[in-house]
Amino acid sequence: MSPETGPTVFILNGVNLGALGRRRPEVYGTLTLDDIEKFLRDRFPDVDFEFRQTDYEGEMVGFIGEAAGSAGVVINPGAWTHYSYALHDALEWMDMPKVEVHLSNVHAREGWRRHSVVSPAVDAVVAGMGADGYRAAVAYILSRGGG
Ligand code: DQA
């Protein structure tokens, strides 16, 4: 981090999250990913966000690798949460603060959503706070010294 720029925080959104706003708004809310990005940029003007979404697991592994040396990573892996050992392994050896975020309360839904294979590889998990969960995750990363 140079004195001229703020901390870089990666916000990584996985499979099907590109459809936010249209996809099951009663569960995931009406905000689109663009709305969430704007919300974070407004809320944290000094943070240099790298905001990404992909439906391809290998591309997500690449994004996680790109985050090496950043202030931290916020990741909503979507359904990959529940079965992607590849994302677990990509995250586990990275030493910056890492937060797993879910818009919905995955513990109050279908049984298969209660288990995350990603959680053991991150520092914190936020679920059920909607878009505000991303704000909480960024605040946590900054509190860990990223900003
Ligand atoms: C989600 C929860 C996952 O179970 C689901 O597959 C998603 C979104 C959430 O943000 O609540 O795609 O990660």
Tens-place pLDDT, residues 96-112: 999 999 999 999 999 99
Question: pTM (2 decimals)?
Answer: 0.95
Is residue 4 predicted with pLDDT exceeding 80? no
133 neighbors 101 (Cβ within 8 angstroms): yes
Stretch 66-92: mean pLDDT: 98
Is residue 3 predicted with pLDDT exceeding 70? no
Cα–Cα distance between 132 and 31 in angstroms, integer? 11
Measured in Å, residue 26 CA sits from the centre of ligand 1 at 13
Known catalytic residue: 102?
yes
Q: Angle between the 132-141 and 33-43 helix axes, to the nearest 10 degrees?
A: 40
The CA-based angle 76-79-83, given to 5 degrees, is 110
Q: Which residues line ligand 1 (CB under 6 A)?
A: 16, 76, 78-79, 81, 102-104, 106, 113
User: Pseudo-torsion of CA 31, 32, 37, 43, nearest 10°?
Assistant: -10
| Structural domains of the chain, ranges and CATH numbers in brackets | 8-143 (3.40.50.9100)
Known catalytic residue: 140?
no
Cα–Cα distance between 121 and 104 in angstroms, integer? 20
Stretch 46-59: mean pLDDT: 98
